[in-house]
Amino acid sequence: MPSPPLAPIGSPLDLDHLSRMTLGDAELEQEVLAMFAEQAVRLMATMTALPAEAGAIAHTLKGSARGIGAFAVADAAASLETAIRTGHNRPHALAALKEAVAEVRVAIEKILKH
């Protein structure tokens, strides 16, 4: 099931969703974003190193992404889960996930610098 398109067009993060999830605590938002950025890097590296576990790793990343409002990452991770399960378009799905993660990490870096 695709995530709702709540983020403003052109933004890889739904900041309203993030604010709701952190009860409006700006310090907590920054902490959660930093943790997600680090986790995403680790999970993507592990997915590349241990391809047999890629489906479980994509599932973990999907849940984390939904929690912070990174719905494009969540949708890309879900697509990769499906590609792994069906055996179709896995390289394309992995590339799309890498791109979505890169975009959200850039957005997170901008937020954390302010």
Average pLDDT, the chain: 91
Is the predicted pLDDT of residue 9 greater than 80, yes or no? no
Most confident option among 1-5, 50-54, 73-77: 73-77
**Terminal-to-terminal C-alpha distance of the chain:** 34
Q: What is the reported pLDDT for 74?
A: 98
Give, to the nearest 10 degrees, the angle between helix 26-49 and helix 54-68: 170
* Helix runs in 5-89, H state only: 15-21, 26-49, 54-68, 71-86
Tokens standing for residue 13: 């993060």
pTM across the whole model: 0.89
Is the predicted pLDDT of residue 84 greater than 60, yes or no? yes
**Per-residue pLDDT reduced to its tens digit, 97-111:** 999 999 999 999 999
Is the predicted pLDDT of residue 7 greater than 90, yes or no? no
Is the predicted pLDDT of residue 5 greater than 60, yes or no? no
Is residue 33 within 8 Å of 112, Cβ to Cβ? Answer: yes
**Per-residue pLDDT reduced to its tens digit, 10-56:** 789 999 999 999 999 999 999 999 999 999 999 999 998 888 999 99
CA gyration radius, the chain? 14
3-state secondary structure of 11: coil
d(CA 8, CA 102): 18
Q: Higher model confidence: residue 54 or residue 2?
A: 54
